[in-house]
Amino acid sequence: MDIKTTCLGVLMLGAASGYEIRKSFEEGPFSHFAEGGFGSIYPALTKMTQEGLVTCTAHQQEKRPAKKVYQITDAGWTHLETAMRDKIPGEDKIKSDLLFMLFFADWQSPERIARVIDARIAFYQQKLDEMADCGTQFDTISGRSLVLGYGIAVFQASLDYLVANREAFIEVAGQAQPPLLHAAE
């Protein structure tokens, strides 16, 4: 989904400012399947206001820039609905720098491999804690709560695999030194 559709998705859950939309890409329930920085969000909101997909209300604040709160319109909902209808979601293409590095574990130092794995383990543990908290907010089952569960399941599997294979990764590290590369030539 492009940045416009993604913003509309956030606005479906309630009116929000550009700043708040970005926060929900960073922390909230959208954080594990959507992304976008200020540089894409603000222009998208401006354009969608012109196109009538959202309305914008300025809330004056003292000693702060006016907060522009955006709300999705009927046309916006139609746009979102159409985007989802026309989409047959393909594979989630993951561009993973971690997996790329681990793939070449044999050519790298055990220290570096340990460092990147430990960092990721810590990340997943922290993220899973956050998600568990987030889950307590749902009293009924909904698409939102089920998607959160999906995220938890995948993160847990990733964490488990890394914990279980940490030593194995470190053991293969350094097995192939650059010269091996030449031997293969």
Nearer to DNA, 37 or 52 (CB): 37
Per rule CB under 8 A, is residue 151 in the interface with a copy of itself? yes
Site for a copy of itself in 78-107 (CB under 8 A): 80-81, 84-85, 87-107
- Candidate list 64, 85, 140, 185; residue touching DNA; CB under 7 A: 64
Residue 79 per-residue DSSP state = H
With CB cut-offs between 5 and 8 Å by kind, which of a copy of itself, DNA, none does residue 183 bind?
none
Residues 66-105 close enough to bind DNA by CB under 7 A:
66-68
Report what 12 binds from DNA, a copy of itself, none; CB cut-off 5-8 Å by kind. Answer: a copy of itself
Three-point CA angle 62, 68, 74, nearest 5°: 150
Nearest to 81 by CA among 4, 5, 143, 3: 5
Strands (E), the chain: 54-59, 67-72
Q: Which is nearer to DNA, 22 or 102 (CB)?
A: 22
What CA–CA distance (Å, rounded) separates 136 from 140?
10
Q: Which of DNA, a copy of itself, none does residue 40 bind (CB under 5 to 8 Å by kind)?
A: DNA
What is the rounded CA–CA span in Å between residue 66 and residue 71?
16
> How many whole angstroms separate alpha carbon 124 and alpha carbon 131?
10
Q: According to the binding rule CB under 8 A, does residue 132 interact with a copy of itself? A: no
Neighbours of 100 (CB within 10 A): 9
Site residues for DNA per CB under 7 A: 2-3, 17-20, 23, 35-40, 42-46, 61, 63-68
